[in-house]
Amino acid sequence: MGSVLIIDTEYETVDEAVQKVFNHFNPPEEDVLIKPNLLGGFPPEQHVTTHPSLVRALVSYCEKKNITITVGDNPAGRGNLVKRANRAGLYEASQGHFQDISEGKDIIADSEFFSKLVISRKVLQSSYIINVPKFKTHLQTIITGALKNMFGVLPGEEKSMIHASARSLESFSRALVDIYSVRPPDLTVMDAIVGMEGNGPSSGKLRHIGKILASDNAVELDAVMAYMMGLNPSEVPMLRYAHEKQLGEIRVEKIEIEGEMQRIPGFKVPSKALVRFITPLTSRYYDFLAVKPRLAREKCVRCWECVEKCPVSALRRNEYPHITKECVSCFCCVEVCENHAMEVSSRARDLFNRSLLKI
């Protein structure tokens, strides 16, 4: 359905890589929405969000073509959007084109989890979307890349409804695919120069990869990313569901690939066994494993972002955020905490570390 381009590059030479991307794929002509991964106000050196160098290079290319540009994302929570974008280096990288795109529009949706969705109006109006994710693992969904980055087409608070109604790995993966299918991006340019392995998407270990991945099919790009991580793409539920819905090929031998696709030696990903445990299954082992977030008080600044973000209201305001028994282990609080005060519980973390798959 599409093709995947793999380019060796570093942040210092990313402008040249972006030029190669647009030499290979059809560039935007009139207006473009550039949608980075703005998970939160994490500084660029933490590599949680899309690196500003890549966003700046994409903006510069589009400016030279006199294209109307919008840069925006819908991160979770209620914090100041510009403040978070500024801290991540993305506000400056947008060169005056950063916008709040949270104004939504109701649409009818074909999904077992929702009959309608609120999608960012700017997403629906844009004639061309460039999806700019990071190359990362994810404790809940195994990987987070091109497909999951489009979860950001939902305004921040709308994501809570999805987390609350689709709580398991399988159901949440199906919901992500349903959302992605509403408006797939025209082009995905993935920041794989420095990726994240292990306990992603915000608390994992950084891994230098030195590549940009680009494709006109986000599902196929994610399949290549999963393969490079050492996974069989068909074992990643959201990729399997996307393939079943004919949204893209996930068998890498059938994908048109230009550039060198190699597995990354020793890349650590969450084991499928642990991921299944951390989703809210009715397993008799669930309470024993105690796979829930825990608060590291010494890191907590009591911003209460975790309390506001929790999709099932399982966090309470006490002296510090208090995690109640209503927790469904979606780990949204871990994702959104910019101070890394929310962690995977000690017992779960020990199990996780023992369960890491080494390629």
**Per-residue pLDDT, 192:** 99
Pairing relation of β-strands 142-144 and 134-138? Answer: antiparallel
Alpha carbons 261 and 97: distance in angstroms, whole number: 34
Residue range 227-234: average pLDDT? Answer: 96
DSSP state of 71: E
CA distances (Å), origin 70, targets 31, 67, 192, 204, 296:
8, 10, 23, 30, 38
- Segment 248-304, tens digit of pLDDT: 999 999 999 999 999 999 999 875 445 554 544 444 444 444 457 889 999 999 999
192 compared with 276, residue with greater pLDDT: 192
Average pLDDT over residues 104-117: 87
Which domains can be identified in the chain, with CATH numbers? 3-263 (3.40.50), 272-358 (3.30.70.20)
Q: What is the pLDDT of residue 286?
A: 41
Cα→Cα distances 85→10, 14, 154, Å: 22, 20, 17
Residue ranges with strand state E in the chain: 3-8, 31-36, 68-71, 104-108, 116-120, 129-132, 134-138, 142-144, 187-197, 205-215, 256-258, 268-269, 293-295, 315-317, 321-323, 342-344, 357-358
Q: Is 271 exposed, middle or buried (0-12, 13-18, 19+ CB in 10 A)?
A: middle
Write down the pLDDT at residue 334.
82
Whole-model pTM: value is: 0.87
| pLDDT above 90 coverage of the chain, percent | 67
Q: How confident is the model at residue 353 (pLDDT cuts 50, 70, 90)?
A: low
Encoded tokens for 223:
């399949």
Position 357 pLDDT exceeds 70: no
